[in-house]
A and B are shown apart, each in its own frame.
Chain A
Amino acid sequence: MHTDLTINGAAHSVDVPAATLLVELLRDHLGLTGTHIGCETSQCGACNVLIDGQPVKSCTVLAAACAGAQVTTVEGLADGDTLHPMQAAFREHHGLQCGFCTPGMVIAGIGIAQRHGAGVDRATIAHELEGNLCRCTGYINIVSAIEAGSKAMADA
């Protein structure tokens, strides 16, 4: 199915079967493997991307239903060599261990910052990470990273 969409600021014109999931388009067709597939059942959040600025699970969205949309993956967050404030906060606070869940955590963190702003508290962050799983159980530092990243995004 012919689909025109914007990914990380670049226009893409693709032709994929209608059953192609957005995460499959990103990884298998476009080589954007920063977005991960964990559970593929909309539980784990490893596949989170931004569609028109909103975090969603790309394993549960059809690629062809994104025609006309602006998709941002973890590859599209940094500005050249300058990390996005949320990415920088994850590095600063060691908000990752194996790193598998990290792209989805960063995207979820951006959503939390957008919804709650610089003053978001740790309990709210922990609650709103309910759709993201870290199998290393590194949540303490992830919450710290999102707390700091939310402040940094407000200052940016």
Chain B
Amino acid sequence: MHDFELVRPTSLDAAKAAFAGSGEAAWLAGGHTLLPAMKARLRAPERLVDLSLVPGLTGITRDGDRLWIGAMATHATIAAAATVMASIPGLAAAALLVGDPQVRNRGTLGGVIANNDPAADYPAVCLALDATIETDRGSHAADDFFQGMFATALADGELVTRVGFRVPDVSHYAKFRHPASRYAVAAVYVARFGSDARVAVTGAGPGAFRWTAAEAALGADFSVSAVAGLAMPADDLNGDIHASPEYRAQLCAVMLRDAVTALQTR
């Protein structure tokens, strides 16, 4: 890594002031994407603003039909939180599928969302759970926030502070993990809100996206048979040494059926 300046502010105002100084700055949350990117010389910020001492970014609270999770909550914290387990067990289970135990002790919700890796888990979770992403400057609907590979609605220096997930009746995340990276080769999050269903896919395309055909099918009939014949078009999906677009399309159909099966048998 190139050397840089590390700033460890203890308030949100101090953090914003530190970020606004001269030269390229980057927020440091759990660092489990940023630091590897810096080691690989893909990123070389001149200043890192560490958020770990900023108060108020880790809380988890239920407020009406939303579950709010602070941006600096780690995956391990989310997976083990009683409030998450009680409100959205599918989200707690999804958090347990991020990385490995050591990574989950360090990586954060906000870091994943701001990075928007096309194979990350939370973008699909946010889309399926109709999340509101709050920042230091306002809020974004998940549908507007994720804008394709590593692209989000965040302006330069805009900081995710917490995420509000709409609490579904039931939800489940079915993920086909790459055995080395633990990222999703393809994964599907299914959430049911009354007679409506929201379905989001990650890992398969250039960014997480909603699968509207699956939503329509499940909205009409929330059952495995309703989606048994549903195919994902391979046209816009990713192909790499691990999986072709056609294989990923097939995985999406299988993950969708797995998720609905899990919810039906509950």
Contact = CB atoms under 8 A, between A and B. Distances in A.
B223 to A, nearest CB: 30
B31 A55 contact: no
B182 A60 contact: no
B28 A60 contact: no
Interface stretch (A6-14, A62-70, A78-86, A142-150): A62-70
Contacts of A108: 101-102
B101 A128 contact: yes
A37 to B, nearest CB: 12
A62 B31 contact: yes
Interface string B58-88: 0000000000000000001000000000000
B48 to A, nearest CB: 7
Interface stretch (B1-9, B115-123, B239-247, B255-263): B1-9
A60 B36 contact: yes
A128 B76 CA distance: 13
B106 A40 contact: no
Contacts of A67: 8
B36 A42 contact: yes
B36 A65 contact: no
B152 interface: no
Nearest to B74: A54
B36 A56 contact: no
A45 B180 CA distance: 13
Contacts of B180: 43
Contacts of A43: 180-181
A92 interface: no
Contact of B105 (A17, A41, A56, A132): A56
Given A60-B106, A65-B8, A111 B32 contact: no
Contact of B3 (A19, A57, A111, A115): A19
Given A60-B32, A65-B52, A18 B102 contact: no
B18 to A, nearest CB: 13
A57 B103 contact: yes
Contact of B35 (A45, A60, A111, A130): A60
Given A18-B5, A41-B39, A62-B6, 7 more contacts: A19-B1, A19-B4, A60-B106, A62-B28, A65-B50, A130-B182, A131-B103
Interface of A: 1, 17-19, 21, 40-43, 45, 48, 54-57, 60-62, 64-65, 67, 108, 111-112, 115, 128, 130-132
10 contacts: A18-B3, A18-B6, A18-B48, A43-B181, A55-B102, A56-B105, A57-B103, A60-B32, A62-B28, A62-B35
